[in-house]
Amino acid sequence: MLIHELSIKTGLSPHTIRFYEKSGLVKGKRDITVKSNNYFHYDEETVEKLEFINDAKSVGFTISEIGQIIDAWYNNKYSKKEKLHILDEKLVALETKLKEIKEMKKLISQFKQDVISGQCPY
């Protein structure tokens, strides 16, 4: 499929897909039988990777971390132990972030109560 079709299928803009290509996360292939254009073609594995990238970004993975995980899964560059270590590190980071968010929520709730009760000095 061409980038426009890939964009429709994944819900990502062509610009975003090209950014991920430049970042080395996905790669299109040229059809050597077609001489009239330089279009890249994408397969179902690319769709799968883009869906993974989107999900990983939504939970806080960086582009670099996503690249590392894609290498681990699709290129078999990491052992099972290394893959688990990568995931464990991210789970710890997510737990820390959750604690920070809960604290912020608690603080905002207290500010809200101060405003309701008229105890807010501002």
What is the pLDDT at residue 24?
92
Is the model's pLDDT at 33 over the cut of 80? no
**pLDDT-derived band at 26, boundaries 50, 70, 90:** very high
Other CB atoms within 10 Å distance of the CB of residue 63: 15
Interatomic CA distance for residues 89 and 31, integer angstroms: 40
pLDDT at 38 over 80: no
| Both tokens assigned to 35 | 């001489």
Distance CA 66, CA 61 (A): 6
What integer is the mean pLDDT of 27-35?
80
Both tokens assigned to 121: 């000095």
Contact at 8 Å (CB) between 66 and 57? yes
Q: Are 89 and 103 in contact (CB under 8 A)?
A: no
> What pTM does this model have?
0.69
